[in-house]
Amino acid sequence: MIAVLKHEVKTYFHSLTTYVFGALLLAFVGIGSVLYNIQAAVSNFEFVLSFGSLIFVIIVPILTMRVIAEERKQKTDQLLYSLPITTAQVVVGKYLALLLVYLIPLCLICFYPLIFSHFGDVYLLTAYGSILAFFVMGSALIAIGVFISSLTENQGFAAGIGIAIILFNYYSVRLSEYVSSTAMGSLIAIFILILGLTAIVRYLTKNDYLAYGISFILVAGTTITYFVDSTKLEGLLPTIMKKLSLFERFNVFVSGIFDMTAIAYYLTVIVFFLFLSVQSLEKRRYN
Amino acid sequence: MISVEHLTKCYGDFVAVDDISFEIEEGHVYGFLGPNGAGKTTIMNIITGCLSATEGRVLIGGYDIFEEAYEAKKLIGYLPEQPPLYMNDTPLEYLKFVGEAKGLQGQELKEQLERVIQQTKIEDVKNRPISALSKGYKQRVGIAQALLGNPKVIILDEPTEGLDPIQIIEIRDLIKELGREHTVIFSSHILSEVQAICDQVLIISKGKLVAFDEPQNLEKLLLAPNEIIITTDAKEEEIKDILANINHIVDMKIEEGEKEYEYAVAHIKTDHDDVYEISRNIFFGFAEKGKALLEMALKKTDLEDIFIELTEKNTQLKATESEEVDQ
């Protein structure tokens, strides 16, 4: 794992995307602090981070697109399979390297509240609390990016899908106001979600029975719920969209609350997607 | 060292490897021989843990490659068909990474790096980016990677593919050298190569193991040399006259040379056990008639013939089998 981590970090410092990632993150947060802290003379640094989080839509996919896709394309994944290390070690090593790359611009950002506190009253506790949350949220997005990269050998495709998914996640709260909140609407949306889940399970396990079995149970469950008590499904879809949004949970930190459930949610997302990435790599051996 | 038991690999309905079993012992050079698409790469990928088997199992030094992957993989160095190189690294950086991933540290890592760099002769290029290296050097870096950690078994998939003749000779010499300290398995579809460097040959055709023996024994499998090729200045009629007096000649084919050269080439087949006896008779037969033998050669059967015979047999066998099924 350490060997993979060291090698990845070295590779990142040779590649332009790392610098683009850092530069864009710093530029966006910089613009944010000019707008909020300097021009509007607001002393809350959290608003800046809330503003800056939009840039994740672009920079996370750029950073993560090559992480596994490139290994496949260059056939270097065969080396990783034949080395006496497990795929979990490979994925975790690569992920930690990405976090390290992400931490560097974040360390610079950590100075901002300190600098501003010389010129006014900055509440450092919420500022640093939200920087920490900002880090964990970014880490969760990076884990999603790693998984998307593990699905394909085409970097461009990985980046495109990554941008689409993160963008959808960013706007899902606003979109949730427009989606149907009737029970029927929820039912249809849940069916579509189940269909997607079935496709993913089938792709990863190549096991038809498992995939169809899971989807059958889920479909049966929701249908029964619908007929027994359709009020339970009312407004379910907007709620799901709100709950799944990584960005929405970050807004709690912006309002000055250090929400442990959000941190727990982010960590769950990280573990879940890293687990899926390992499965996706393992699956290559079983095709 | 390696035992492969009833290995089968299917891709959907296509059977790439069909119930193969064999044992590989320590300290020899083994050659996997087979036409493209025979299943060589698939077998190697399974042995090295890069691919799962549909059925059967592989033991490396007693460790199952899937159940006890860590111990098994420590015993193997693998160079896949396309060397798995990180193009932005220099060979030194790349080898350092592989060495560390194989669990080498500090002084040991340094010593091993020096040793493999010297062994594969990449000292001159070790600080250049791999993307700028020639194909031969890339192949060497790939082999160097396989040698790190001093594994007992080294598996090379078509290591001479796509190299120029001089590079091929160099890589072959390297394989021979490695064979002194390691068990080497390499695949090739070039027969002369396998014949030149292997102690044991495994011929694979359509996912099946059709032969497993020493090259010399495989040659013996076919008939002993039984064809004599002569070039003479005698005319066709004269050749026939002379050969008519010699026993044990079962067949002959005479090609008249072009007129200006006035020589003929004859392919003579014999059923006698001692070909040299027949050669002697032919020699004196021509001498008596005052005709010169410009050239005389024995046609030896080589692996090429065996290979074609075995792989064709396999095809024919399959064909008859399917015919039987049809009926």
Q: Which chain A residues contact residue B52 at CB under 8 A?
A: 285-286
Q: B32 pairs with which residues across the strands?
A: B187, B202
Q: Which pLDDT does position A232 carry in this prediction? A: 76
Q: Is residue B311 part of a domain?
A: no
Position A210 pLDDT exceeds 60 = yes
Q: Which pLDDT does position B302 carry in this prediction? A: 61
- Residue pLDDT, tens place only, A147-165: 999 998 899 999 999 999 9
Asked if B73's CB is within 8 angstroms of A84's CB, the reply is yes
Quick one: closest CA in B to A86, which residue?
B70
Q: Counting Cβ atoms within 10 Å, is residue A98 exposed (0-12), middle (13-18) or buried (19+)? A: buried
**ipTM of the assembly?**
0.84
Q: Is residue B305 part of a domain?
A: no
**B41 versus A178: which is more confidently predicted?**
B41
- Residue pLDDT, tens place only, B93-140: 999 999 999 999 889 999 999 999 998 889 999 899 999 998 889 999
Q: B17 pairs with which residues across the strands?
A: B9
A64 close to A162: Cβ distance less than 8 angstroms: yes
**Mutation to test the B interface, candidates A9, A18, A81, A83, most B Cβ within 10 Å:** A83
- B207 and B236: one domain? no
Cα A267 off chain centre by: 10
CATH number at residue B289: 3.30.70.260
Collect all residues with Cβ–Cβ distance below 8 Å to A28 and sequence separation of at least 6: A51, A52, A54, A55
Q: Counting Cβ atoms within 10 Å, is residue A74 exposed (0-12), middle (13-18) or buried (19+)? A: middle
- B143 and B103: one domain? yes
Regions in chain B scoring below 70 on pLDDT:
219-225, 257-261, 300-306, 311, 313-327
Question: B80 in contact with A at a CB cutoff of 8 Å?
Answer: yes
Q: Which pLDDT does position B162 carry in this prediction? A: 80
Quick one: closest CA in A to B51, which residue?
A285
- B7 and B117: one domain? yes
Q: Which pLDDT does position B325 carry in this prediction? A: 47
Shortest distance, CA B163 to any CA of chain A (angstroms):
19
A59 close to A145: Cβ distance less than 8 angstroms: no
Separation CA B271–CA B277 (nearest Å): 11
Question: A285 in contact with B at a CB cutoff of 8 Å?
Answer: yes
End-to-end alpha carbon distance in chain A: 25
Question: B145 in contact with A at a CB cutoff of 8 Å?
Answer: yes
Q: Which pLDDT does position B327 carry in this prediction? A: 45
Position A42 pLDDT exceeds 50 = yes
- B159 and B273: one domain? no
Asked if A286's CB is within 8 angstroms of B52's CB, the reply is yes
Residues of the domain holding B262: 227-299
Asked if B102's CB is within 8 angstroms of A84's CB, the reply is yes
Q: Is residue B22 part of a domain?
A: yes
Residue B210 DSSP SS3: strand
Predicted structure pTM score? 0.82
- B165 and B273: one domain? no
- B136 and B42: one domain? yes
Q: Which chain B residues contact residue A9 at CB under 8 A?
A: none
Weakest mean pLDDT among A57-66, A181-190, A273-282, B173-182: A181-190
- B171 and B202: one domain? yes
Q: How far is CA B88 from CA A52, A67, A81, A107, B93, in A?
A: 32, 14, 20, 28, 10
Q: Which pLDDT does position B313 carry in this prediction? A: 66
Q: What average pLDDT does this structure show over A71-96?
A: 92
- B177 and B286: one domain? no
Q: Is residue B221 part of a domain?
A: no
**Phi-psi map region of B20: left, alpha, beta (phi>0 left; psi -120 to 50 alpha):** beta
- B169 and B288: one domain? no
- B42 and B76: one domain? yes
- Residue pLDDT, tens place only, A230-267: 777 777 778 888 888 888 889 888 888 888 999 999 99
- Restricting to B residues 232-251, those with a Cβ less than 8 Å away from any Cβ of A are none
**Number of domains, chain B:** 2
B84 → closest Cβ in A78, A286, A287: A78
Q: Counting Cβ atoms within 10 Å, is residue A252 exposed (0-12), middle (13-18) or buried (19+)? A: middle
Q: Which of B321, B259, B269 is nearest to B298 (CA)?
A: B269
B79 close to B155: Cβ distance less than 8 angstroms: yes
Question: B75 in contact with A at a CB cutoff of 8 Å?
Answer: no
- B192 and B233: one domain? no
Asked if B98's CB is within 8 angstroms of A79's CB, the reply is yes
Q: Is residue B160 part of a domain?
A: yes
CATH number at residue B91: 3.40.50.300
Collect all residues with Cβ–Cβ distance below 8 Å to B7 and sequence separation of at least 6: B17, B19, B20, B21, B43, B46, B53, B55, B56, B57, B58
Q: How many interface pairs between A and B have CB atoms less than 8 angstroms apart? A: 69
Q: Is residue B20 part of a domain?
A: yes
Q: What percent of chain A has pLDDT over 70?
A: 100
Q: Which pLDDT does position B191 carry in this prediction? A: 76
Q: How far is CA B291 from CA B57, B106, B238, B279, in A?
A: 65, 76, 9, 15
Which DSSP symbol is given to A15? S
Q: Is residue B191 part of a domain?
A: yes
- B147 and B236: one domain? no
Question: A16 in contact with B at a CB cutoff of 8 Å?
Answer: no
Q: Is residue B326 part of a domain?
A: no
Question: A78 in contact with B at a CB cutoff of 8 Å?
Answer: yes
Question: A90 in contact with B at a CB cutoff of 8 Å?
Answer: no
Structure tokens at B275: 């070909």
